Amino acid sequence: MKLSIRQIFFNLKVALIVLVIVISALSMQLFTISQYSDHLTSLKNQHALIQKIMTTNLDDFDMATIKVHGEISELSLYTQLSTKEVLIDFISVPKAEQKGLTQTLTSASSSFQEAALFWIESMPVSRHAMYQRMIFARTPYLIEIDKMFDYKVQRIDDSIKRAQITSIALLVLIIIIFLLYRFRLNQIYRDIHSACYLDTDATKAVAITDEINYLMKRLSRRSSTTNTNPTLLHSLSGINTEKGMQSAHATKRSPQKMNSLFLVVFEIDQYAHLNDTLSKEDMGGLFKKLANVITLYEQPMDIVAHLNDDRFSFLLSRKDKKNALAEIEKIVSTVADSIFTTSKGALKITLSAGFILKVPAKSLEDSLIDAKKIVEKAKELGGNCIAQLH
């Protein structure tokens, strides 16, 4: 069963969504640990404020009163901060336990604050008694602070354990997604490479994915659908003959006027030797592969033809000479890099090319004659190159 590129990318999207969810959960847990740490700081600050209030120097009574009132206000604020619910308390923390600790700490803090206010605002005659009352209120308050401190430390430990488990799960998930989709994307790349380069390594291209398999089938049928009249198709390569090319050119002539027309004639440099040593079937396979390489660069207004013997022609419509010449260079290079399988074994061939601008004043037949003359110059230069008029 072949893979679907669409399904692969859908699954990748789902995997990334899961990854984002796990990362969000980890971020939430880390934020929760940070909030619990802030609560511990608030509890420590309450300890420090209690000590400051208890050791306040009353020599300058007015200044001491202002100082104690400020410290009592801070004490009230830190009590609220240390009992505030964190982000995921509603999920993982027993409500009854948290509510009980919050109520007893708030009550003990209020009792101590009240006693401190009575002490600082009392008359000198009763100040000692009020101080003793404040000491009496301090003891249960410190006990509740310690209880809440232990509770918050336990919550931090639990959150750290959950964060560790989530981190491990996240790491495993990232490794699995990376390895799986690295493999899947490599499969897609190999399919695309096969479709683009047409078995240049002399192995039969097999697509793993449905979409690329469909495209490769379309590419393999492309040369045979150039002309529907079988008498205009070459018996060995299956593409247009010279008459088929002229017929197609007459049909496409008007739209082609939008761009410049360029004509190329290709010849196989080793044709004489190949023709002497290879069978007709081998030559047919070689010609079909050459046709596939050339038609890979064929656009809707282009025409590819197998003229006679080893000559192929390519009439291409491009906006300028630079683009046209670049594609012809790719064809020559691709053929030189390809391996052709025959009954005599694998072999390599090269092409010589004659490149001209087809002027409207000249017929296609006359232009082909000119291109055939120019390709001889490329062969004189040693082959595997492109000759053109300058």
Query: Percentage of the chain surpassing pLDDT 70?
Result: 88
* Average pLDDT of the chain to the nearest whole number: 86
Q: Are 257 and 301 in contact (CB under 8 A)?
A: no
Q: Is the pLDDT of residue 120 over 80?
A: yes
- The tokens for 37 are 């740490």
Element (H, E) at 340: strand 340-342
Q: Mean per-residue pLDDT for 319-334?
A: 91
The predicted-structure confidence for 329-348, as pLDDT tens digits, reads as follows 999 998 998 888 888 888 99
pLDDT at 223: 45
Q: Mean per-residue pLDDT for 197-201?
A: 53
pLDDT at 256: 47
Q: Is the pLDDT of residue 145 over 60?
A: yes
More confident residue, 285 or 389: 285
**Half-sphere exposure (Cβ direction) of 327: Cα atoms closer than 13 Å:** 21
pLDDT at 199: 53
Query: Percentage of the chain surpassing pLDDT 90?
Result: 49
With a CB cutoff of 8 Å and minimum separation 6, the contacts of 243 are 232
pLDDT at 98: 81
Range name among 13-17, 85-89, 236-240, 273-277 with the lowest pLDDT average: 85-89
Q: Mean per-residue pLDDT for 148-154?
A: 91
Range name among 67-76, 78-87, 278-287 with the lowest pLDDT average: 78-87
pTM tops 0.75? no
Closest CA to 66 of 55, 56, 80, 79: 56
pLDDT at 369: 92
Q: Mean per-residue pLDDT for 11-25?
A: 93
Q: Is the pLDDT of residue 293 over 60?
A: yes
Q: Mean per-residue pLDDT for 37-63?
A: 91
Q: Are 275 and 283 in contact (CB under 8 A)?
A: yes
pLDDT at 224: 44
Phi first, then psi: give them for residue 49, nearest 5 degrees: -70, -40
Per DSSP, the three-state class of 317 is strand
Phi first, then psi: give them for residue 2, nearest 5 degrees: -80, 155
Q: Is the pLDDT of residue 174 over 80?
A: yes
Per DSSP, the three-state class of 351 is strand
Q: Mean per-residue pLDDT for 51-76?
A: 91
Per DSSP, the three-state class of 350 is coil
Q: Is the pLDDT of residue 72 over 50?
A: yes
Count of beta carbons in the 10 Å neighbourhood of residue 136: 12
Q: Is the pLDDT of residue 77 over 80?
A: yes
The predicted-structure confidence for 106-118, as pLDDT tens digits, reads as follows 999 999 999 999 9
